[in-house]
Structure 1
Amino acid sequence: MRYAPGVRRFALPAFLAAIPLAVLAPPLSALSLLLGGFVLWFFRDPERTPSAPGVVSPADGRVSVVREEGEQVRIGVFMNVTDVHVNRAPFDGRVDRVTHRPGAHRPAFSKESERNERVDVDVSTPEGPAELSLIAGAFARRIHPYVEEGETLSRGCRIGHIDFGSRADVLLPPCYDSEDVTVEVGDGLRAGESVVARRDE
């Protein structure tokens, strides 16, 4: 099993603590082992393949936002604690800019999360400009983008992860409208696999 970067920082202390606790307090040792196992499970990074042509989801989770913003459509995906937290590129493109924006840590499914800490990735795609946003949640404290300005993205490739609870948004290129969106609020998605928008040529 592949894991997201940083897993050792959280899992290793839990596993190491279990050794002395096995002598001093066996129930706490078991709890420590369970905590380490949970961290490994949380940082899992399975392989994914797009299921069909179109824009794929940037995250595992449920659709929390579908709305028009000027000439573009935004789709937001809320990642619950049980979801894979590695994010993926919804389309092919080139990274124009990666911007970290400090902010609050409100629940990622709430309207107040618009002011949360985030990393915005501006992308030039064959269909026009787009944007990806990795948004921290109430418990998330670190966003880890994997991409830098000038890099080329392939649809479904890994672009980053967020520690412990979050949301990922995609602002579609202007050529997409609401009728091209194939999901609605509440739908369950898989990052890099589920199609969220498709244009009929």
Structure 2
Amino acid sequence: MITTIALDVGETLISDTSVWAGWADWLGVPPHTVSALVGAVVVQGRDNADALRLLRPGLDVAAETAARDAAGCGESLTEADLYADVRPALAAMRDAGLQVVIAGNQTARAADQLRALDLPADIIATSGEWGTAKPEAEFFERLVDVAGARPEQVVYVGDHPANDMFPAAAAGLRTAHLRRGPWGYYWAYDPAVIAAATWRIDSLAEVVEVVRR
């Protein structure tokens, strides 16, 4: 029996629009340029930070992120960044008696910002707090541990094949591939993604229905 719904953050709960717009401002290029380059690295199966390195070869993304933070231009997750279905869908999951866990590849600072949004979730944790990141197996071991469940009782919902679907399935979790954001749309019909996904959904509103079906 499924007891827990665990959700990725970027392009699952939060639109990355403001994230990339912030980088565009910082690097002095139009937002659509960054978006186009993100699309280019997506179709090549590369890390999204490579889009920034196309703009500035050799860019040390970690150092540049620290510089943005020091300048007061760092990451900021607000209500406006949430997809419209997030609050009602998470509330529906809890109403259905399911534990809701938010766990993604974000910083500890992002975790604090997510908690400040007062989302209907039981647990919020990030890779920055755990010291392990997707797609590492340890990330999913920590997820199952904090959920207090067996792997097969947990559904991981996400958009990214390499970070979400493949490692979650390998760890024994059920998976729901969300067709949202560049990764979710581009890889939606890839045979390997279809094989790894227990369910394929277009909205978080579908989660309760598919897991209870």
TM-score between both structures, scaled by the size of structure 2: 0.27
Q: Which has the higher strand share?
A: 1
Q: Which has the larger radius of gyration?
A: 1
Q: Which has the higher helix share?
A: 2
Structure number with the bigger relative contact order (C-alpha 8 A, sep ≥ 6) is 1
TM-score between both structures, scaled by the size of structure 1: 0.28
